[in-house]
C-alpha cells in the first residue's frame, strides 16, 4: 500500500513538473532526445545542409531563421509555411509578408530528401525548420541552444493568417499584442527582434521613413542623418527601387551578434518597428542592456527561440510526418 502511495506521488510529481515546465500550448511529448534512436544522424545531416546553403549564399542564414518565425506565428509551428498552393487550398507563400521575400524552401527540400534516405518517414518538416533556424544562427557566429523535438506537420495552411504576421509598419503595441496572443512577452519581442542582426530588407519595407514619414512630408526624425542620406541614395522615391536590398545591420552584416542593439541606440535601426524599441522606456532599457552585454543577448535569444518553437505544436497522433514538405501526404 505504501509502495502504491509512493508510486502515485511520483507520478503526480512528474505530471506537475511537466505542466509547470512547458507552456500550456504544448504537451509533454516534446523531448530533447526524441530522435536519438530513430534518426541518430539528424543534427549532422541538418547542419551540413545549412552549412552548404550558407556557403553558397550568406543571405540564406537570415532567410531560414525568418521561415521558422513565419511558420510559428501562423497557427503554430506546424510547417504550414512550406506547403505549396493546391487546386483546393491557398498556401502561405503568396501572402503579402512572404510573397517575393520568403526563401530557403529548396534548402528544406534538400535536407528532407537526405533525411528520408537516412531515416524514412521519421523526422517532421516542422522539426527540420526548427533545427535549421538554430543551425543558421549558430553557423553565423550566434549561440547554440538545445531544441526539444517531436513536432508533427500540419495538414492545412492559411494565407489570411499569414497576412496578419507582425509587420515592420505596425506600432510596437500591435506587434507586442501579436506576441502575447501566442504566449510570448515583451522581452521576447526585444530578444527575437535581435534576429535582425543578420539579413536584408527590401527598400519597400522602410522607404516610408525616408521621405514622407506619417504624412509629414519629412523623413523619420528618429533616423540618424548620415544613414538617412545613404538610404535615400540607395532607395530613391520611385517604384523601381522597392525591391532593392539593404542590410538590416550594415556594420556586421553576416555575423550574428549584438550590434543590432548598438545600432538602435545610435538611431540606426533600419525598420520602423526596430527603431520603435527605443521609443518605449521598457524596451529601450532592454535594448541598452543587450547592446552592452552580448553574452546575455545570446543566452536569452536561445531561450526565446525555444519558447517560440513551442507555439501551438502538434504532437502524438495529431498531424502527420510529411514525406515531401511541400505537400500533405
Active site residues: 70
Q: For the chain, give the longest Cα–Cα distance.
A: 81
Element (H, E) at 134: helix 125-139
| Helices and strands, counts by H and E, the chain | 13, 2
What residues have CB less than 8 Å from 248, skipping those under 6 apart? 62, 196, 197, 198, 199, 200, 201, 260, 270, 271, 274
How far is CA 118 from each of CA 31, 48, 59, 146, rounded to the nearest angstrom? 20, 14, 28, 22
Q: Cα 50 vs. chain centroid, distance in angstroms?
A: 15
How far is CA 243 from each of CA 97, 101, 205, 206, rounded to the nearest angstrom? 13, 9, 9, 11
- For 296, the grid coordinates are 546575455
Tell me how far apart the alpha carbons of residues 264 and 287 are, in angstroms, rounded to a whole number. Answer: 8
Is 111 in contact with 138 (CB distance < 8 Å)?
Answer: no
Query: 495538414: which residue's cell?
Result: 155
Tell me how far apart the alpha carbons of residues 5 and 279 are, in angstroms, rounded to a whole number. Answer: 56
- CA torsion 19-23-27-31 (nearest 10°) is -90
Query: 509551428: which residue's cell?
Result: 77
- CB neighbourhood size of 272 (10 A): 22
Q: Across-strand partners of 245?
A: 202
Q: Give the three-state DSSP class for 287.
A: helix
Q: Are strands 245-247 and 200-202 parallel, antiparallel or unpaired?
A: antiparallel
Amino acid at each position: 500500500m505504501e509502495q502504491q502511495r509512493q508510486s502515485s506521488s511520483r507520478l503526480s510529481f512528474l505530471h506537475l513538473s511537466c505542466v509547470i515546465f512547458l507552456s500550456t500550448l504544448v504537451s509533454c511529448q516534446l523531448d530533447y532526445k526524441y530522435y536519438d534512436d530513430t534518426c541518430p544522424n539528424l543534427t549532422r545531416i541538418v547542419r551540413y545542409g545549412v552549412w552548404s546553403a550558407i556557403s553558397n549564399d550568406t543571405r540564406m542564414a537570415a532567410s531560414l531563421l525568418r521561415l521558422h518565425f513565419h511558420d510559428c506565428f501562423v497557427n503554430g509551428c506546424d510547417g504550414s509555411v512550406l506547403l505549396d498552393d493546391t487546386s483546393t487550398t491557398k498556401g502561405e507563400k503568396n501572402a503579402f509578408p512572404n510573397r517575393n521575400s520568403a526563401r530557403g524552401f529548396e534548402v528544406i527540400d534538400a535536407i528532407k530528401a537526405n533525411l528520408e534516405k537516412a531515416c524514412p518517414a521519421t523526422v517532421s518538416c516542422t522539426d527540420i525548420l526548427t533545427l535549421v533556424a538554430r543551425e543558421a544562427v549558430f553557423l553565423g557566429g550566434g549561440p547554440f541552444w538545445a531544441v526539444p523535438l517531436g513536432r508533427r506537420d500540419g495538414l492545412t495552411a492559411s494565407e489570411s493568417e499569414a497576412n496578419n504576421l507582425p509587420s515592420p509598419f505596425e506600432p510596437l503595441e500591435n506587434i507586442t499584442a501579436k506576441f502575447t496572443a501566442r504566449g510570448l512577452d515583451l522581452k521576447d519581442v526585444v530578444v527575437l527582434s535581435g534576429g535582425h542582426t543578420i539579413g536584408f530588407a527590401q527598400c519597400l519595407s522602410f522607404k516610408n521613413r525616408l521621405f514622407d514619414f506619417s504624412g509629414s512630408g519629412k523623413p523619420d526624425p528618429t533616423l540618424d542623418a548620415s544613414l538617412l542620406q545613404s538610404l535615400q541614395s540607395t532607395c530613391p522615391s520611385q517604384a523601381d527601387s522597392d525591391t532593392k536590398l539593404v542590410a538590416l545591420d550594415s556594420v556586421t552584416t553576416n555575423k550574428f551578434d549584438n550590434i543590432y542593439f548598438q545600432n538602435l541606440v545610435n538611431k540606426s535601426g533600419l525598420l520602423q518597428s526596430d527603431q520603435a524599441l527605443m521609443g518605449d522606456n521598457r524596451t529601450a532599457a532592454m535594448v541598452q542592456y543587450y547592446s552592452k552585454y552580448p553574452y546575455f543577448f545570446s543566452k536569452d535569444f536561445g531561450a526565446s527561440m525555444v519558447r517560440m518553437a513551442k507555439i501551438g505544436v502538434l504532437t502524438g497522433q495529431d498531424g502527420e510526418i510529411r514525406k515531401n514538405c511541400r505537400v500533405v501526404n
